[in-house]
Structure 1
Amino acid sequence: MKLCLVFTLVFADAALGAIEKRILGSLPCKTDRQYHVKIKSDQRKTFCGALLLNTHWIITAAHCGGQRLTVTVGVNYDAPFFSNPFTNTDKQTIETKQQFVFKEEDGLPHDILLIKLNKPSDAKFPTVSLPPEECTRPEQSQQVKVGGRGAAETSKDKPPRKLMCAITEMSTCGDNDKPDSKYHSDEATTMCAFKAGVESCYGDAGSAVEYKGLLYGIIVSNPTDKCANPIVMLDICFYRKWIDKIMKENI
């Protein structure tokens, strides 16, 4: 379970009698990343991560959308001890008309997606902070934080329960390090991170890349048979003005 961010350990969960995959070099996020959102495709039965930007909007990878989705806000919410357990998550069904993909003038999409919620989520759920509009991506070798609920060897119909976190480093992308071929990719939009053992697995796409406590990237690596390292990400700074534009135009 996790951002398969790393070589995996077999961990026996005696209470449940289950064996799950954990990642070496990563730890449960605990109260970190409380903005994390779970996305499930109702048709394709696939899973992704996403981030709560504010009470109305979440952001993820475009390949996680394009059909009816079930989004669950609050999956890592650190709820007060005496809170009502039935209000500690917010699950909504999202149609395609509420999904916004960045596209080139010729219509070629980028692998980034804004989703407008049907109704505002409760203000108690923490959100992720965006960098300034004129931001620039972290420089090479800078450490960034990644996290996710992906798993190397668990059922794709049942993603791991816990969100896992790890630290990796910005690196140069190789010739084959890019989003799926149906999405636009160039040096201005795509960035990569590498650290031995830290990998992105099935279910981690759409999750956040944090730098200095702010959202600087979205994981777009979409592995199926094995985990990915380097981790391929989209540069939020490239899309920063577009994010504000979409949210303002679709109040």
Structure 2
Amino acid sequence: MYNLGDTSSLKMKLFLLLVLAAWHQAAAYPTKVEKVENVNDIINGYSCAYGSIPWQVFLTYKTDKGDHFCGGSLINQWWILSAAHCQGIPGTMVVRLGEHILSANEGTEQFIYAAKQIRHPNYNPQVFDNDIMLIKLAQAAQYNQYVYPIPLPSSCVATGTWCTVSGWGNMVTNGVVNANALQCLNQPIISTADCQHAYPYDYTNNMMCSGFMQGGQSTCQGDSGGPLVCNRQLQGIVSWAYKCALKGYPTVYTKVCNYNAWINQIMSNN
């Protein structure tokens, strides 16, 4: 498990692009009684400015159901924070940092294998409660303009705060058109009451909603595990939703501020 630099990085990128073409519909976005799907990209967002989301990572990995991809966030030189449902078979996950256009070799990429994947011990895949996972890199990421960590939250974010979500997933509500360039969407935090009203049987205190109740813009398949950043702090992890950009059903995020102690304990012990 090593950083695949320079020539090896280009070869790996070309290989991964062929894999992506073969399983463009296999983004980690498990279905929950047809109703709830894990989410992974941006509907009606915009192309992020190159280098503006330096903590964003692209995860490729295998499960017993095939090849998948997810998003994640660099939180220090050794650790990535993502969604628990993005866990892959050990030894198969490659963490791609410094990416912007997936099909291009931009010279800013770092490809590093995952050494450990540590799910929250109370993760519940039926309702996606505690949908959070730490990934330890096989070697330290090298910080630069395009690879840099996002701080954990100093406190929970307030309703109405505007935040930015990012990812490479599906950009259409019907069919599959995965993003090549990293996509962004600016959106507000939705009140707990509105989130509970949208999802009365599935919402827990470890979740929060962000997006637009009127629909039309949201994350979608292909970007699970990605960051929701508010005031330069990582407040949410893309987790699940009912369909994509549907009126009355905003995206649900893992509420990172509930997990600071667990995150720090895992990093300290590993």
TM-score, normalised on structure 1? 0.73
CA distance in 2, matches of 1:168, 1:227: 12
Comparing 56-65 with 193-202, greater Cα deviation is found at 193-202
State whether residues 199 and 230 of structure 1, in contact with CA within 8 Å, keep that contact through their aligned partners in structure 2: yes
CA distance in 1, matches of 2:163, 2:123: 32
- RMSD of aligned Cα (Å): 3.1
Choose between structure 1 and 2: higher helix proportion: 2
Q: Which amino acid aligns with 1:55?
A: Q
Does residue 130 (structure 1) correspond to residue 152 (structure 2)? The answer is yes
Shift of 1:166: 1.2
Q: 2:42 maps to which residue?
A: 5
Does residue 232 (structure 1) correspond to residue 252 (structure 2)? The answer is yes
Does residue 101 (structure 1) correspond to residue 125 (structure 2)? The answer is no
Using a 3 Å threshold, how does the CA distance of structure 1 residues 222 and 56 change in structure 2: closer, same or farther?
farther
State whether residues 202 and 222 of structure 1, in contact with CA within 8 Å, keep that contact through their aligned partners in structure 2: no
Shift of 1:101: 1.3
Q: 1:163 maps to which residue?
A: 182
Shift of 1:175: 5.4
Q: 1:80 maps to which residue?
A: none
Comparing 169-178 with 189-198, greater Cα deviation is found at 169-178
State whether residues 202 and 227 of structure 1, in contact with CA within 8 Å, keep that contact through their aligned partners in structure 2: no
Cα shift readout 1:61-114 (whole Å, capped 9, x = no counterpart):
01111423122111139xxxxxxx68521223335xx111112399x9721000
State whether residues 154 and 160 of structure 1, in contact with CA within 8 Å, keep that contact through their aligned partners in structure 2: no
The total of aligned residue pairs comes to 211
State whether residues 118 and 133 of structure 2, in contact with CA within 8 Å, keep that contact through their aligned partners in structure 1: yes
Using a 3 Å threshold, how does the CA distance of structure 1 residues 168 and 3 change in structure 2: closer, same or farther?
farther
Does residue 186 (structure 1) correspond to residue 204 (structure 2)? The answer is yes
CA distance in 2, matches of 1:247, 1:76: 27
Using a 3 Å threshold, how does the CA distance of structure 1 residues 105 and 111 change in structure 2: closer, same or farther?
closer
Using a 3 Å threshold, how does the CA distance of structure 1 residues 46 and 222 change in structure 2: closer, same or farther?
farther
Q: Which amino acid aligns with 1:144?
A: C
Using a 3 Å threshold, how does the CA distance of structure 1 residues 142 and 46 change in structure 2: closer, same or farther?
same
- Structure 2 unaligned spans of 5+: 1-23, 25-38
Find the residue that maps to 1:37 and give its secondary structure: strand
Q: 1:245 maps to which residue?
A: 265
Find the residue that maps to 1:238 and give its secondary structure: helix
CA distance in 1, matches of 2:200, 2:183: 24
Find the residue that maps to 1:55 and give its secondary structure: coil
Find the residue that maps to 1:174 and give its secondary structure: helix
- Structure 1 unaligned spans of 5+: 7-22, 78-84
Identity of aligned residues (%): 24
Find the residue that maps to 2:219 and give its secondary structure: coil
CA distance in 2, matches of 1:63, 1:55: 23
Shift of 1:42: 2.6
Using a 3 Å threshold, how does the CA distance of structure 1 residues 105 and 120 change in structure 2: closer, same or farther?
closer
| 2:195 counterpart (150, 173, 190) | 173
